[in-house]
């Protein structure tokens, strides 16, 4: 059990009204006078949900990091003209809106000045990014 999981579990229990009167300061979690402590079973279930949420968040962060790494490895003719588009997509991912990121990338226009080969490269990059965003969407919907 990590401190992060304990924090997530307590915050979830507080939102459900199952615990009250606790303070979280840095690495310290304390129950204040008059605070309600959940049963061992309730806390165990909340910690299990928190662990699953932490695992999911770590997986999503790894996918987002891979998207960024893959993007940064692209040639300048891709990252230059399409950089603002990519950053907008990343912003949507950071905000937890992968569907918006997907639609933005999917419907973006390839610059008309691209050669046939450059356009094909841009389409391959788009397909790769969309596949990664689909992984995020699938994990969130699982």
Say what the pLDDT of residue 12 is: 77
pLDDT band at 20 (very low <50, low <70, confident <90, very high): low
Rounded Cα distance, 83 and 60, in Å: 22
For the stretch 91-125, pLDDT in tens is 999 999 999 999 999 999 999 999 999 999 999 99
Question: Does residue 125 contact residue 78 with C-beta atoms inside 8 Å?
Answer: yes
Question: Does residue 13 contact residue 42 with C-beta atoms inside 8 Å?
Answer: yes
Task: Calculate what percentage of the chain has a pLDDT beyond 90.
Answer: 52
Rounded Cα distance, 49 and 28, in Å: 21
Q: Which helix (H) or strand (E) holds 102?
A: helix 98-106
pLDDT at 65 over 80: yes
Rounded Cα distance, 65 and 44, in Å: 31
C-beta neighbour count of 84 within 10 angstroms:
9
């Amino acid at each position: 059990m990590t401190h992060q999981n304990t924090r997530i579990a307590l915050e979830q229990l507080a939102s459900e009204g199952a615990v009250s009167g606790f303070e979280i300061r840095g690495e310290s979690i304390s129950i204040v006078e008059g605070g309600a402590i959940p049963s061992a079973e309730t806390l165990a279930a909340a910690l299990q949900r928190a662990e699953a949420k932490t695992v999911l968040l770590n997986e999503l962060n790894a996918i987002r990091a891979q998207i960024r790494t893959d993007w940064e490895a692209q040639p300048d003719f891709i990252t230059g003209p399409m950089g603002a588009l990519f950053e907008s997509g990343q912003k949507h991912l950071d905000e937890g809106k992968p569907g918006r990121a997907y639609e933005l990338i999917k419907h973006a226009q390839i610059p008309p000045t691209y050669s046939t080969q450059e356009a094909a490269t841009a389409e391959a990059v788009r397909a790769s990014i969309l596949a990664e965003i689909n992984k995020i969407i699938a994990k969130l919907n699982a």
